[in-house]
């Protein structure tokens, strides 16, 4: 196939396709921005140690996360993690108008296009959209670092606008993301490509998803719990550190993956229960949908659940820090000092909370796309139901049932997994025994080295140990927020139900 023909066929599409391409570009731009930010943080040079800067801080920044070399790795990692919900959003957008596109590609296959040609077409569409997105992201990044380069009165910068990552690294992001997106598209199209008959004749769906996602969660958490003490007890270059790191990373990933895929089972099971006990058309319709495509929910909720799991973990971490802070206060009070632990960590966790909020919002956007896509893709069926006299309110209720029913247990599961992971990761709060010298006299006497000695006493604080509380309040807030996001997206999605149930839809092909 000649390039011009390839391009023409790749860009043939309806308005839905255009929207998909635009959303793909936007997601790609967001992901690229996150990657650029991470790269910039990593590009901050660490100054050589000098007499007045033994810790090699980069004093030009006002933010500790950027100033301290030890924290920059984590900061960059967190920024990269922000790409996860963005990529999930991109995945959601890729489903938009997918049935129409699948039909188009199947028609091409029928006309004699090889699987390779069709894959190339689809990859080209996604790739070009992504490349457009990453280029826009690059432009935004370059403009943004000029605009935000505003040193404060102390000459310090809020953001690392004074460094530029290596050009090669930037280029790798600009080109790499579209490549990855193209490959992901190729993967997603497997089924369309295997048969030119497309969706017109699909073998009967195999049995519903099994509860093996539960196994994934258990194994993941177990690996996490196993890995962590090893990492704590060994020195940094101990022989098992690599293995422990692997166990923790793989375990965490497996647990989150289990939570997300578990939604398939949850959808199927709630569908089955609903079908058995429901007595009204709306829940029955919802039950049928849940059972016939249990993975739809899993796909739609994936980003949200990942964000909730992550947020629950952060809540657990906060609870841990709060407990440590409390212990420190106890110890200090014995010593007569009113002070807590280093507030830096609690401040940092607030940043993490902010990131989780952003992630939930992005995930809700993805969910909205999924809900609208679900309604629009099934508009013929809805229009047919409306034409035969099914009230729109019944359809609306069935959509609400369909979204909320599996969401509740799935969010509870995500909260539990996140809290358990955090508990396993950070363990109990401990503070070893400490000795503090306290000067009981006035400031003047204490300041004088000669007189200080006689007023000073050494207080011994015993080791303290406490089990962090389960942060129920925060978990409830997080779960409630996620559920509210689900409800809000469904309500917005219902706005699309009216035009989609117009009986004229029955005429459209």
Site for another protein, rule CB under 8 A: 1-2, 4-5, 8-9, 12-14, 17, 100, 103-104, 107-117, 194-197, 201, 203-204, 508-509
Return the number of the residue (97 or 160) whose C-beta is nearest another protein.
97
Nearer Cβ to another protein (4/50): 4
Give whichever of 106 and 282 is closer to another protein, judged by the CB atom: 106
Classify residue 252 as exposed, middle or buried by CB count within 10 Å of its CB (0-12, 13-18, 19+).
Answer: buried
CA-to-CA distance for 33 and 454, rounded, in angstroms? 60
CB of 509 to another protein, least distance (A): 6
Q: How far is the CB of 6 from another protein (least distance, A)?
A: 9
Q: Give least dist CB 103 to another protein, A.
A: 8
Pseudo-torsion of CA 345, 346, 352, 353, nearest 10°?
Answer: 170
**Angle in degrees, CA 480, 482, 484, rounded to 5:** 65
Cβ pair 266, 213 in contact under 8 A: no
CB of residue 2 vs another protein: minimum separation in angstroms? Answer: 6
- The angle, 0 to 180 degrees and rounded to 10, between the axes of the packed helices 281-292 and 294-334 is 90
Q: Which residues pair with 457 in a beta bridge?
A: 438
Helix residue ranges, H only, 278-342:
281-292, 294-334
CB of 322 to another protein, least distance (A): 57
Find out whether 281 and 251 touch, Cβ atoms under 8 Å.
no
H helices present in 336-448, as ranges: 343-377, 379-387, 392-426, 443-447
Please, which residue, 68 or 125, has the CB nearer to another protein? 125
Measured from the CB atom, is 44 or 113 closer to another protein?
113
Closest CB to another protein among 13 and 288?
13
| Nearest to 301, CA basis, from 189, 204, 404 | 404
Closest-CA residue to 482 (of 398, 421, 410, 418): 410
Q: Which is nearer to another protein, 117 or 451 (CB)?
A: 117
CB of 494 to another protein, least distance (A): 27
Helical spans, DSSP H, in 148-197: 167-188, 190-194
**Contacts from 41-45 at CB under 8 Å and sequence distance 24+?**
41/66, 41/72, 41/75, 41/76, 41/79, 41/160, 42/72, 42/73, 42/76, 42/165, 43/160, 43/163, 43/164, 43/165, 43/166, 43/169, 44/72, 44/160, 44/163, 45/163
Calpha distance 401→272 (Å, rounded): 13
| C-beta of 138 vs 383, nearer to another protein | 383
CB of 199 to another protein, least distance (A): 11
In degrees rounded to 5, what are phi and psi of residue 92? Answer: -65, -45
> Shortest Cβ distance from residue 125 to another protein (Å)?
12
Nearest distance, CB of residue 115 and another protein, angstroms: 5
| Least distance to another protein, CB of residue 204, Å | 5
With respect to another protein, which residue has the nearer C-beta, 232 or 508? 508
Pick 115 or 288: Cβ nearer another protein: 115
């Amino acid at each position: 196939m000649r390039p011009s023909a390839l391009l023409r066929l790749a860009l043939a599409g309806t308005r839905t396709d255009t929207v998909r391409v635009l959303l793909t570009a936007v997601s790609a731009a967001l992901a690229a921005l996150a990657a650029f930010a991470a790269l910039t943080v990593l590009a901050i040079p660490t100054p050589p140690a000098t007499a007045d800067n033994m810790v090699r801080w980069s004093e030009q920044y006002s933010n500790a996360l950027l100033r301290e070399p030890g924290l920059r790795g984590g900061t960059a990692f967190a920024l990269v993690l922000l790409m996860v919900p963005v990529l999930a959003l991109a995945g959601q957008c890729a489903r938009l108008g997918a049935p129409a596109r699948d039909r188009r590609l199947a028609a091409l296959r029928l006309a004699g296009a090889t699987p390779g040609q069709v894959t190339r077409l689809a990859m080209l569409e996604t790739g070009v959209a992504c490349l457009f997105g990453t280029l826009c992201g690059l432009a935004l990044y370059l403009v943004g670092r000029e605009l935000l380069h505003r040193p404060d009165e102390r000459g310090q910068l809020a953001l690392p606008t004074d460094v530029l990552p290596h050009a090669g690294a930037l280029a790798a992001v600009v080109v790499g993301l579209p490549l990855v997106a193209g490959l992901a598209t190729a993967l997603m199209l497997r089924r369309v490509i295997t048969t030119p008959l497309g969706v017109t004749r699909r073998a009967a769906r195999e049995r519903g998803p099994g509860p093996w996602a539960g196994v994934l969660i258990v194994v993941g958490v177990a690996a996490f719990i196993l890995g962590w003490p090893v990492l704590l007890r060994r020195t940094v270059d101990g022989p098992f550190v690599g293995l422990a790191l692997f166990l923790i990373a793989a375990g965490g990933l497996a647990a989150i993956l289990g939570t997300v895929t578990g939604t398939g089972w949850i959808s199927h099971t709630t569908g089955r229960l609903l079908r058995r006990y429901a007595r009204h058309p709306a829940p029955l319709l919802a039950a049928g949908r849940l059972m016939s495509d249990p993975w739809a929910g899993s796909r739609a909720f994936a980003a949200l659940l990942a964000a909730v799991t992550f947020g629950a973990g952060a809540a657990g971490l906060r609870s841990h820090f709060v407990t440590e802070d409390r212990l420190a206060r106890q110890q200090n009070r014995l010593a007569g000092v009113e002070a807590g632990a280093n507030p830096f960590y609690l401040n940092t966790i607030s940043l993490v909370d902010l990131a989780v909020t952003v992630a939930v919002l992005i995930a809700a956007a993805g969910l909205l796309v999924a809900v609208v896509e679900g309604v629009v893709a099934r508009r013929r069926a809805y229009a047919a139901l409306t034409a035969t006299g099914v009230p729109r309110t019944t359809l609306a209720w069935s959509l609400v049932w369909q979204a909320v029913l599996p969401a509740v247990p799935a969010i509870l599961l995500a909260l539990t997994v996140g809290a358990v992971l955090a508990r396993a990761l950070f363990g109990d709060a401990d503070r070893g025994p400490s000795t503090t010298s306290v000067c009981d006299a006035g400031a003047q006497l204490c300041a004088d080295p000669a007189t200080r000695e006689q007023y000073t006493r050494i207080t011994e604080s015993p080791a303290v140990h406490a089990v962090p509380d389960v942060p129920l309040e925060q978990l409830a807030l997080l779960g409630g927020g996620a559920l509210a996001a689900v409800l809000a997206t469904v309500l917005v999605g219902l706005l699309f139900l009216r035009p989609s149930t117009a009986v004229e839809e029955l005429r459209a092909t």
